């Protein structure tokens, strides 16, 4: 079997989408806490009049309850252990540790929660894989400091990362700094805390924010390594093949430019340790000024590159410059493109492309030669409970089976793949739409989009299937 010994089979979640308890035990508000639920959430938050206040009379906030993982994590981790998880990727909510973000001392209650969560994983031999910042920057930093475009945020993050490594590095070997750092190309509010009121539409701010995140990520690597020599700290990005719509060189070139901007820019800096020479062209394309750097930044980036690339893979897109009017726009994971006539789509319009995963793994490996870790993948779908009380999610099994087969092929091609943590291993609130009905889990959670339900957990058919996949180190999926 091609998956290596110790392959990190598991599952992934994010604090803001599953914990709930949004104001418990001293937690402050995060950007995610102020995002209304519903399919229109991105257009709502992109409107200039949106004020990032909590307005329960006007909006719903599914994240405030999430799936109550905060109180039910023991039950959830026991179910993960039953599936045989080797790893569990979760994020730490920054606003549990520093409620506003700029405090001098951390909130002990928040730290204690993650002590328990980590210990619970270790009890079952599950490796915790921690994302330091997953779309949940303290709201105060976004509103009062302008998010990541402000250099001061680097200091606040450094303090936060230092506390986390001091407290958890001996127990947690695998880390990632920023979730989907490249998503700011389309939606900077989530990963950069950059909102309309503080200039999110200006790409100069986005590039400046990225620079600060690169510096902060490099500092985290430096601090983490000083705490534990075998620690593994990765970057994390969305990766999606952006195919040329046809063999017209104009579309080939457009696809190359788009891949650079979206798929490679952030990892080029974080893996190689320096800005690519195409930065100049990129800034021109986005009408942005070069990010301001401080003395020592370049050295810091060069000396503190990441150990591996964590990435999410859900779909691919096509790029059509020559006849875009003849193509349908495709829905997607925080990116833009057109529909590919050779692919089928999920109920939410995300194009399903398992071979694209093999292509992605090979492209990333060829470019960087560092280990790769698929830290998100999966099918968001509506699940029904049948009259026998079962959830027969064959569509999900089919999706994952094909993606695992593609992973296997990529490993045979020579790619170094560390692990696979499919997204939303237990149903949780969707990031792009704030819906519960867009489900990814092997475990069903009884909760609807309006917040009705018992929150009871129930195994889906995919639960036993994935258990078998892990038990056979992937063979059951081929």
376 part of the interface to ligand BG6, by CB under 6 A:
yes
Stretch that binds ligand BG6, among 69-77, 270-278, 322-330, 429-437 (CB under 6 A): 429-437
Distances from the Cα of 276 to the Cαs of 155, 175, 268, 280, 295, in angstroms?
Answer: 25, 25, 7, 9, 19
Which of residues 379, 430, 445, 470 is near ligand BG6 by CB under 6 A? 430
376 in active site: yes
Which residues have a Cβ under 8 Å from the Cβ of 277 and sit 6 or more positions away? none
Shorter beta-carbon distance to ligand BG6: residue 194 or 244: 194
Length of the chain: 478
The rounded Cα 108 to chain-centroid distance in angstroms is: 26
- Residue 235 binds ligand BG6 (CB under 6 A): no
179 lies in the site for ligand BG6, by CB under 6 A: yes
Question: Which tokens hold the place of 360?
Answer: 């992605």
- List Cα–Cα distances, 153 to 131, 230, 233, 335, 424, in angstroms: 18, 28, 20, 26, 29
From 245-253, 366-374, 426-434, 447-455, give the range in contact with ligand BG6 by CB under 6 A: 426-434
108, 376, 390, 468: which one is catalytic? 376
431 counts as binding ligand BG6 under rule CB under 6 A: yes
Q: Which stretch binds ligand BG6 (CB under 6 A): 222-230, 247-255, 408-416, 430-438?
A: 430-438
Binding string to ligand BG6 for residues 329 to 368, with x set by CB under 6 A, is what?
----xx----------------------------------
Instruction: Assess 438 for contact with ligand BG6 (CB under 6 A).
Output: yes
Is 423 a binder of ligand BG6 (CB under 6 A)? yes
Interacting residues with ligand BG6 between 317 and 336 (CB under 6 A): 333-334
* Separation of alpha carbons 38 and 191, rounded Å: 19
Report the residue number, 96 or 438, with the smaller CB distance to ligand BG6.
438
Q: Minimum distance from CB of 325 to ligand BG6 (Å)?
A: 28
Footprint of ligand BG6 (CB under 6 A):
14, 17, 135, 179-180, 312, 333-334, 376, 380, 423, 430-433, 438
Active centre residues (catalytic):
376
């Amino acid at each position: 079997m091609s998956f290596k010994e110790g392959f990190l089979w598991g599952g992934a979640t994010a604090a803001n989408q599953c914990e709930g308890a949004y104001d418990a035990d001293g937690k402050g508000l995060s950007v995610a806490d102020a995002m209304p639920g519903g399919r229109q959430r991105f257009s709502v938050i992109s409107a200039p009049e949106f004020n990032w206040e909590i307005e329960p009379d006007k909006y719903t906030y599914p994240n405030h309850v999430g799936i109550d993982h905060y109180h039910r994590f023991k039950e959830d981790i026991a179910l993960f252990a039953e599936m045989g998880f080797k790893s569990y990727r979760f994020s730490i909510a920054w606003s549990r540790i520093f409620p506003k973000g700029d405090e001098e001392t951390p909130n002990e209650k928040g730290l204690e929660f993650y002590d328990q969560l980590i210990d619970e994983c270790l009890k079952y031999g599950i490796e915790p894989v921690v994302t330091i910042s997953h779309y949940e920057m303290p709201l105060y930093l976004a509103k009062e400091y302008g998010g990541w475009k402000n250099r001061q945020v680097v200091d606040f993050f450094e303090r936060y990362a230092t506390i986390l490594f001091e407290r958890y590095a001996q127990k947690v070997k695998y880390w990632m700094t920023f979730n989907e750092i490249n998503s700011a190309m389309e939606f900077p509010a989530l990963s950069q805390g950059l909102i309309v009121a503080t200039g999110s539409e200006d790409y100069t701010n986005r590039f400046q924010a990225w620079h600060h995140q690169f510096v902060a990520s490099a500092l985290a690597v430096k601090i983490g390594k000083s705490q534990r020599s075998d620690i593994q700290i990765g970057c994390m990005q969305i990766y999606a093949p952006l195919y040329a719509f046809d063999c017209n060189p104009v579309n080939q070139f457009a696809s190359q430019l788009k891949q650079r901007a979206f798929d490679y820019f952030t990892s080029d800096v974080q893996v190689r340790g320096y800005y690519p020479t195409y930065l100049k062209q990129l800034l021109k394309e986005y009408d942005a000024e070069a990010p301001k750097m401080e003395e020592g930044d370049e050295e810091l980036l060069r000396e503190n590159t990441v150990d591996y690339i964590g990435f999410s893979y859900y779909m691919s897109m096509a790029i059509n410059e020559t006849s875009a009017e003849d193509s349908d726009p495709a829905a997607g994971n925080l990116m833009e493109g057109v529909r590919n006539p050779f692919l089928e789509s999920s109920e939410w319009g995300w194009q399903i492309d398992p071979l694209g995963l093999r292509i992605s793994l090979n492209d990333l490996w060829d470019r960087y030669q560092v280990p790769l870790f698929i830290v998100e993948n999966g099918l968001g779908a509506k699940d029904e409970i049948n009259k026998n009380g079962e959830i027969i999610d064959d569509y999900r099994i089919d999706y994952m089976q094909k993606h695992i087969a593609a992973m296997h092929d990529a490993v045979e091609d020579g790619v170094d793949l560390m692990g696979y943590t499919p997204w939303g291993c237990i149903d949780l609130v969707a990031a792009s739409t704030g819906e519960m009905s867009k489900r990814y889990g092997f475990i069903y959670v009884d909760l609807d989009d309006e917040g009705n339900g018992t929150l009871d957990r129930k195994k889906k058919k995919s639960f036993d299937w994935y258990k078998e996949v892990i038990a056979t180190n992937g063979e059951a999926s081929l």
